[in-house]
Structure 1
């Protein structure tokens, strides 16, 4: 049975500002991740998403992780670098469409359906393998994995709350996945 643990990265300035951007963790966040390293589950294979935030979190956790391009964050196209508030003021209907329709990609990037398909393909590649996989991945990737694994409607994507520095565990074989939700990675004692 495959065991996949998806660890969400620590908060950084871009996330606090709800900005479609990538930046490494700040020093405080990196220390918090380092303190939680002892709480990681056992693993055979380690991956990280290519973002600076995920790679920085993996490094702070003491992980020697291979970059998995399939775990990259949702591509928000021309919205990249902008805040959600800014985009919402300039293109309120586009934001409303994006939040309501999983097939919409008004930003010219990737739709939620495309994200779920990409992440689902990565997840299914591990199905049935007797491996313990640990991956540091953005919250959107974790949401997409949950939508796929549980075969829930993609419109529920935005209703899944994925907290920073938590572990979401999936176990399965033959396309059937079980879920253990968002366990906080507490500092080891």
Structure 2
């Protein structure tokens, strides 16, 4: 049986507008409005899950989805950088930031490495490929990146080369660990 997985990135938040590591903020008014406008456009699914973050839960609700939290889809743990802007981290810890962006095993923020996120999400993808049918997951952009990396067997350095804009869909279809990937379709 072919499995189908749709990963939907959350709507815009203040943190995203400010290029800030997520700190649990809610969707902003425009993000909520855009998500609500896309409600009803998604196909029926056998499993609907979301990252256990505020913005993913709120996006799922605005889309009219009754999503369960999926622990394997937790956002990348940014450690002590949580709530900081990328510009602040770059100014205070330029070497650490450069190392984190260049080395998938690095976690200078005392959080989670890119490799750890890719491995975690890869294990989740393997489990949903075992006959879950159609899966819809509202997931943080970094998780969609990690899914693409694992689904294509790409090197982890490709993680930073994949853009996942708000309210877009990454779609996977396949069976037995062989995936086809469709990127960047806007909702609505």
Q: One fold, TM greater than 0.5?
A: yes
Residue 172 of structure 1, CA deviation:
1.4
Residues 90-124 of structure 1 deviation map (CA, whole Å, 9 limit, x = unaligned): 01000000111111100011100000000000000
Q: Distance in 1 between matches of 2:71 and 2:39?
A: 23
Alignment of 1:78-97 (within 5 A): 78-97=80-99
Alignment of 1:19-168 (within 5 A): 19-21=20-22, 22-129=24-131, 131-168=133-170
Q: Which runs of 4+ in 1 moved over 3 A?
A: none
What is the aligned length? 186
The runs of 5 or more residues in structure 2 that have no matched partner are none
Instruction: Indicate the RMSD between aligned Cα atoms, in angstroms.
Output: 1.0
Q: Which residue of 1 aligns with 2:12?
A: 11
Q: Could you tell which deviates more after superposition, 127-136 or 53-62?
A: 127-136
Residues 56-90 of structure 1 deviation map (CA, whole Å, 9 limit, x = unaligned): 00010011100001101111111111111111100
Q: Distance in 2 between matches of 1:87 and 1:166?
A: 27
The runs of 5 or more residues in structure 1 that have no matched partner are none
Q: Distance in 1 between matches of 2:130 and 2:175?
A: 4
Residues 14-52 of structure 1 deviation map (CA, whole Å, 9 limit, x = unaligned): 011011122111222111101111221331210010010
